[in-house]
Amino acid sequence: MTEQTRPAKQTGPGAWQPSALQRERIAYRGRQARRSTLIAAVSSVILLALVVVGVTSTPGWPRVRETFFDVHRGWEALPVVAQGLWLNVRVMLVCAVLIVVIGMTLAIMRTLRGPIFFPLRVFAAAYTDVFRGLPLLLVIFLLGFGVPALQLRGLPNQAVIWGGAALVLTYSSYVAEVFRAGIESVHPSQRAAARSLGLTYRQTLRFVVLPQAVRWVLPPLLNDFVSLQKDSGLIAVLGVIDAIRAAQLETAIDFNFTPYVVAGLLFVALTIPLTRLTDYVARKQGWYGGGGGPV
């Protein structure tokens, strides 16, 4: 319906008013929504209270609280752990950009048609098979300890660079498959229509296929970045002073494990917003049905 044919909104005494039955329905839905909210709040409080009472009444709770949940020790370790977390954030951001670029390139290579592109398809398939099969920690060890030990000219020796390289190599293989699934989900008629309009293969891929593919794979792509955000802490095994390594050094002072809990809380606080964004995008794209709520 266009602006010319759409009826104007009526105001004044002659304006449309809901019927008595409609007003009853609206009031009923409001009462049901308030009732559901109250029940959810009460049940959550009761469950939380039962958990707290059950945990704090155990014989070993005082020692657990002193070792893992010392508030004073946590405040002392917070600045050091937060400084290490900033390194994790920078590593994650840089790696995310490289992963998207490499993953998209590999996905396009896997979807190329014609015998002349056979070597590129084989390379992309071998890359994804190898790095999806290797454990991420093993790749970090191989690059972080093995490559610097070679003392090759022109290559950096910083552990954080090789730890990030391991993240990029591993995650780009997963992201490549995500992009490839999105590219192959575009119906062939879309390509045929674009080519019939005179678009070249490159123009069809750029203006028709990739925009639709990226739109459909955005939720699983964001899920991969949530995992990347957490796995950036694995570079601590190379001696890099990130949040986990900083918490380990703080714990070594008095063997109080509260700094580890602080690091975990910071990672959770960093991950939850991206997780909620992923759920929002997935729900907007129609990935989730109507049976679940916002949580």
Let me know: does 131 contact 170? Beta carbons within 8 Å. yes
The per-residue pLDDT for 56 is: 86
Q: How far apart are CA 160 and CA 248, in angstroms?
A: 17
Per DSSP, 44 falls in state: H
Per-residue pLDDT, 286: 65
Among residues 65, 88, 60, which one has the least CA distance to residue 257? 65
pLDDT digits over 155-196, tens only? 888 899 999 999 999 999 999 999 998 888 888 888 888 888
pLDDT of residue 43: 94
Closest CA to 131 of 123, 39, 157: 123
pLDDT of residue 178: 93
Q: What is the pLDDT of residue 93?
A: 94
- Output the pTM of the full model: 0.80
Which pLDDT does position 9 carry in this prediction?
52
Cβ neighbourhood burial of 142 (10 Å; 0-12, 13-18, 19+): middle
**Count of beta carbons in the 10 Å neighbourhood of residue 131:** 19
In 113-242, DSSP assigns E strands to none
Which residue stretches of the chain have pLDDT < 70? 1-14, 285-295
